[in-house]
Structure 1
Amino acid sequence: MSICFVWKQLQPLVDEERKKGNIACIKYDKLVVKKPKDKNRGKRTRESSDSLNQEAQKKASKSKTPQSYTKKQTEKSTTNKLKQNQQKICLPQRLVPAGALDQNPPAKRSETFNIATLNTRTLRTQESLLELDKALENVKYDILSISEIRRVGEKITELNEYILYHKGETPGQRGVGFLIKMAMKNYIQELIGVSDRIVILNINLPRYKKPWTIIQTYAPTEQAPESESDAFYCTLSDIIKQYHNNFIIVMGDFNAQVGCREPGEELILGKYGYGKRSANGHRLIELLLQNNLTLLNTVFKKDLKTKWTWLSPDGKYKNEIDFVITNKPKFFNDTHIIKNLNFNTNHRMVRCRLKKYPTKRSRDKIKNKMTVEQHREKIDLSLIDNLKEILNSNRSAIEKYDLMIKQLSRLRKGNITKEVKFSEKTMELLKERNALIKDKSKTQEN
């Protein structure tokens, strides 16, 4: 017997039980009947004494509403709850056969793309990759950019749930890459490995007119030579200028402390900075100012105690050195830190939430201050007469249409001539000049 046939047989029994006042529903192939809860059940009936009656009278005198009204109100509330429970049981969330329940209701879709960055310290071995996979089971992410992968060469590997891309040059050092969920595979445009410190992902996210360029970086430390740091920021600035027409995200381990906002930095930093500014922090600020970028870590208000992203090996120092930067901060809902990631690293994951539905620009409200009479004064009366003549003529519809367009083209802004009014003094001067011109012409004739 099919399930639909069983449901059709049990449906009349469900209706009968509901008429009796019971709660009835079909669960799989069985009828489930429950009696409504009685609020008065369980109360003990006791003999009324004088003391109890006196207390009840005091309570009744204090209360403003009579007992009859409260009883009616409780009866109404119980009936409303029964109706709500019946509606919850009866009505499915989407279209199903008559009398059937939806066994697989649709899941809620997320309204954001989760893009994150993490310094893993190493992903050189397959065991460390499996450890990261296990740690990310309960973490929502669509794209994860990684620093210090420490895998030599440039390679793309497709696994069950994600795509791994990495770029490395020196064995056992540096290396950057991406972990991209398989659901985003069709949106990938290209993956570019610039060096073992910079990689690029160009991706066409749905509902966005322009592609997104995600740049993962691993900057030199404060102890590195200045020439190495300057060369890194020069190449990064050139890449940002190359993709300036796209929506850009620059993220990763910058090994820089930005600190709080200073005067003149309102467009690139938010109110919520953390720590003190270092030498690499000054370089990063110059990069933001040159390319009109915004540091998202400082835009959204968070607890200062939880903003750190790096812990020193001895556990004494905590700094914020992992950042997310963009040229479109309005497209992001939040930027926060994943605190309890079960992975062997002294860095914490930084995750930003990109809106799936980009915000539209608000159109400027055009207020027409001119009245109807002022508009009529602008329109030439002769034009209206010409249009009437064209409509009343014996020409074809196409000829009338062409002639009317020619006439109406006179109403364009470029063709409207504004009336110039002269003052009385200028009019007198014009008359005097005209008289002088006439006198000169008479003398020349004589």
Structure 2
Amino acid sequence: MELKRFRISIAGITETHLVGNGTDPIGEGYHLLWSGQTTTRRNGVGLVLDNKSIKCLLSFTPVSDRIANARLSHKQGKMTVLVCYAPTNEADDEAKETFYSALANELSKISPHDIVILLGDMNATVSDNHDLWRQVIGPVIPDPLNDNGLRLLQLCSMHNLVITNTLFARKDIHKYTWYSNDGRTKKMIDYIIVSQRWRSSISNCRTYRSAEIGNTDHRLVVANMRLRLQAQRSQPRPTKIDVSPIKRYGPSMPLMSRTASTHSCHLKVLRTHGSRLRRMSWSQRPQILEGRSVLRKHGFSSIRLTSLSRDARQGFWATCRPTGASMVSATS
């Protein structure tokens, strides 16, 4: 199977001519999900998923014989894939309006967090006016604009989509997706369209003439997509308060009964300068909790209490001020 040879995980096919809708394995590790008319074998669209992708399938909605909707999950979120088969450019305006209204309705239902991928035969040639449609198309446009192309550009602009076929400069044989029976007329009418947000994740999009995909005048269009996602930065873990210096230097029930936030600065001083204080005798140890000026005099960093209220600061100093030579304890 050509899908396996080209290592394709998700493929959209049109003109399946299958009745109704359903899901069937088609061999070589692929599954077909299709949507068609209830009685006649006309039009029809289908989605082919490999074994890995079918396990990620959340839902499949056969909208009509021209539109099918599938939603898949991946590690970072959800992905919605639409397979479409638009009326020809010569069709009447009513048929075109019905199709594009239904397609716009399906796009409006998609979650804004989903990756949107639109695959299909749009029977449209888009404009070469890159300046006007800069957010929708790239600089590579081989054909003039037609009516279907204008409708497609307006749809993509409204729903923030970009046509990936136009993003990469290729030879003509790798641009055109449809050839007439005489081989003289050729056009780009089959597209792979993605959300503008994921435009940079498309690394390649081209046509492969060598793919043998049955009796059809269309060529296989393949795009390589990689997801560039940045993990959210984890929140810093709160610093654990070390109370061992208080336990080491004697009873301090008044301090321990206070909340940890009130005395976090006090404990930080003890944790930072505890080894220095242990080397000093009791008579040499300064009363570091007497005030900021005493701390600066003895070379200790000042205690920051700006985040506390006025009453909390007064209570902090009243509790921490020693009565004797002890450093932390209210009793020696």
TM-score by length of 2: 0.69
Report what 2:122 is aligned to. 254
Shift of 1:402: 3.0
Report what 1:166 is aligned to. 34
Identity of aligned residues (%): 25
Could you give the per-residue CA deviations for residues 269-314 of structure 1, whole angstroms, max 9, x where no partner exists? 1122221111100001100111111111111221234300001122
Which residue of the other structure, out of 132, 154, 157, is the alignment partner of 2:21?
A: 154
Q: Distance in 2 between matches of 1:240 and 1:172?
A: 26
Bigger Rg, structure 1 or 2: 1
Which residue of the other structure, out of 50, 59, 65, is the alignment partner of 1:190?
A: 59
3-state secondary structure, aligned to 1:286: helix
Report what 1:233 is aligned to. 100
Cα contact 1:267–1:294 (8 A) shared by 2: yes
Q: Could you say if the C-alpha distance between residues 394 and 284 of structure 1 is closer, same or farther in structure 2, counting changes exceeding 3 Å? A: same
Counterparts of residues 12-411 of structure 1 (less than 5 Å): 133=1, 135-160=2-27, 161-169=29-37, 171-205=40-74, 207-208=75-76, 210-245=77-112, 246-327=114-195, 328-342=198-212, 343-355=214-226, 357-360=227-230, 395-397=254-256, 399-404=258-263, 407=305, 409=307
How many residue pairs match? The answer is 248
Question: Greater CA deviation, 193-202 or 301-310?
Answer: 301-310
3-state secondary structure, aligned to 1:395: helix
3-state secondary structure, aligned to 1:211: strand
Q: Distance in 1 between matches of 2:257 and 2:34?
A: 66
Q: Distance in 2 between matches of 1:260 and 1:410?
A: 65
Q: Distance in 2 between matches of 1:362 and 1:216?
A: 32
Cα contact 2:173–2:207 (8 A) shared by 1: no
Cα contact 1:261–1:270 (8 A) shared by 2: no
3-state secondary structure, aligned to 2:230: coil
- Structure 2's unaligned 5+ residue stretches are 234-249, 266-304, 310-332
3-state secondary structure, aligned to 1:402: coil
3-state secondary structure, aligned to 1:204: strand
Amino acid at match of 2:70: L
Shift of 1:405: 7.0
The RMSD of aligned alpha carbons is: 2.6
Q: Could you say if the C-alpha distance between residues 403 and 284 of structure 1 is closer, same or farther in structure 2, counting changes exceeding 3 Å? A: same
Q: Could you say if the C-alpha distance between residues 398 and 145 of structure 1 is closer, same or farther in structure 2, counting changes exceeding 3 Å? A: farther
Q: Distance in 2 between matches of 1:398 and 1:257?
A: 77
Cα contact 1:176–1:218 (8 A) shared by 2: yes
Cα contact 2:174–2:206 (8 A) shared by 1: no
Q: Distance in 2 between matches of 1:224 and 1:410?
A: 75
Q: Name whichever structure is richer in helix by fraction.
A: 1
3-state secondary structure, aligned to 2:108: helix
Shift of 1:259: 3.5
Amino acid at match of 2:228: P
Cα contact 1:256–1:280 (8 A) shared by 2: yes
Report what 1:21 is aligned to. none
Could you give the per-residue CA deviations for residues 34-72 of structure 1, whole angstroms, max 9, x where no partner exists? xxxxxxxxxxxxxxxxxxxxxxxxxxxxxxxxxxxxxxx
Amino acid at match of 1:299: L
Cα contact 1:294–1:326 (8 A) shared by 2: yes
Amino acid at match of 2:81: I
3-state secondary structure, aligned to 2:6: coil
Q: Distance in 1 between matches of 2:231 and 2:158?
A: 25
Shift of 1:362: 11
